Amino acid sequence: MELLQNILSNLWAVLLVILFFGGSIFVHELGHFLAARRRGMHVDRFSIGFGPKIFSWHGKDGVEYRVSWLPLGGYVALPQLADMRGIEGETRTDLSKLPQPNYTTKVIVSAAGAFFNILFAFVLGLIVWKGTGEPSNNTLVTSTVAEVRPTLTDSQGKEVPSPASLAGLKPGDTILKVDGNPISSFWDIVEQLALSSGWNDQGKRQTVFTIKRADQILELTLNPIRSGQENLRRVGFTPVEILKIDAPRPGSTAEKVGLQKDDIIVAANQKPTLNASDLADELKLRTKGSVSLTITRAGETKTVFLPATSDVKESVDIGIELQAGIVYTHPTPWQQIDNAAMKTVRTLTALVNPRSDIGVSNMSSPIMIATSFFALAKEGMPFVLWFTIFVNVNLAIFNLLPIPVLDGGHILFATMAKLRGKSLPADFVATAQSIFMVLLLSLMVYVGYRDVRRLTYTGEEKPAKSTPAQNEPAPAPPAAPTTPAPATP
């Protein structure tokens, strides 16, 4: 029975990968296709994937529809837009008989794929906003420090004092900004650290935390170290846990004092409970007298008192279980798109910044993206929707970069021709397209190889929802730079 459930679960996950990952590429190409037809352009071929075809058919509209072997993206063959025969294959159309589209048409058709990705993300964002919610680990939604690790293991495998401990970061500190950038969650901190590029005059990496400690606003200067297989910047601390309780057991102490499902424990004996360990330590004091619990319930703060007991085990076991570590928020579609766009732009900026520690080796290929889709699909639909929104925004921005073979490259060439008053030399365009396609595919191969190593490395978690243990940016997609597959018209 368990084997059957696993098989069905895997099949369902595969179906969701095809539906949402493949669907994201399809939506992009559909944008190009519909815009081209609307603007009166000739469409030669609509392909999901590159290379030799797996199967194809010709529609009544004369377009060849195909699925190809290399699942690195897709394309709509538009010979009037650019001569891409070296990449997309030969065309059956006599190019000399096709009229040249105007500048506006070229820009609209080239940008339509990205527009459809954003539109798709918006539709999914509506579902997240009004329905499923955006999932996050409950330790990632706060920016308050629970524990400062005394040491970290650096990239050389050496145990060294953690930058957080050296800088004087303390449990209970709430981090407000990282390098002047406002943050609202632990995940923001992880991302800002990974993408930061600060250095001091002594040649050490430097990050400034603006923190709130009691009633004071302080600035701490930390010197992050590179650690882990990805060699990203880390400082060494864990965030607080949201201690949300499940329904108390019938007849238990928790039920008798009035605790309810979804109550959040924020303090015990007026001391903040930063994690489950803090709560357990305070509950043990019931052997000496009653213990107060401060909770929040539907936005209101309440206090309950647990009676004293002589039994140490009973003092801790008050009849509650903490809920699973996933919480759901309901940001608007625009907030979701803006958040994904900012992550993508910051990542791309870090990639080209020589002072950043982010490089090509930290990027993710379609292999990792598909693997992430598969892992998240097994966790539930909210995770799939959340990740699909991120991928579509990422795909839109990436394809608008002014690089030949990408949509932004077509817009660039069209703009250059517009400014010079005549078409660019065909040989120049074809050569540039071919060179950059080789470079892009080579990058894909290299990044794909790195992804295979990540996935087979036994010391690192596979991509899924995970809790970084020491401000370690786990390879969960939203914090890792991703390289969506190129989609060319």
In the DSSP assignment, the letter for residue 250 is T
Per-residue model confidence (pLDDT) at position 306 = 93
| Domains, the chain | 2-135+371-488 (no CATH), 139-239 (2.30.42.10), 243-324 (2.30.42.10)
**Where residue 104 falls among pLDDT bands split at 50, 70, 90?**
very high
Cα separation, 234 vs 222, in Å, equals: 10
* Residue among 409, 461, 411, 469 at smallest CA distance from 439: 409
> H or E element: which one contains 467?
none
296-305 mean pLDDT: 92
**Where residue 466 falls among pLDDT bands split at 50, 70, 90?**
very low
Q: Left (φ > 0), alpha (ψ -120 to 50) or beta: where does 233 sit? A: beta
Cα separation, 151 vs 172, in Å, equals: 19
pLDDT tens profile 278-289: 899 999 999 999
The answer to whether residue 136 scores a pLDDT higher than 50 is: yes
pLDDT tens profile 159-205: 999 999 999 999 999 999 999 999 888 888 989 998 999 999 999 99
**Where residue 308 falls among pLDDT bands split at 50, 70, 90?**
very high
The answer to whether residue 489 scores a pLDDT higher than 50 is: no
pLDDT tens profile 33-61: 999 999 999 898 999 887 788 999 998 88
Per-residue model confidence (pLDDT) at position 161 = 94
pTM of the model: 0.80
Is the Cβ–Cβ distance between 263 and 293 less than 8 Å?
A: no
* Residue among 104, 117, 99 at smallest CA distance from 29: 117
Terminal-to-terminal C-alpha distance of the chain:
47
Phi, psi of 73, deg, nearest 5: 145, -135
Mean pLDDT across the chain, nearest whole number?
86
* Residue among 178, 168, 194 at smallest CA distance from 143: 178
pLDDT tens profile 206-265: 999 999 998 999 999 999 999 877 788 999 998 888 888 988 999 999 999 999 998 999
The answer to whether residue 314 scores a pLDDT higher than 60 is: yes
Per-residue model confidence (pLDDT) at position 292 = 95
Cα separation, 47 vs 61, in Å, equals: 15
Q: Which two tokens stand for residue 65?
A: 């529809």
Phi, psi of 308, deg, nearest 5: -70, 155
**Where residue 485 falls among pLDDT bands split at 50, 70, 90?**
very low
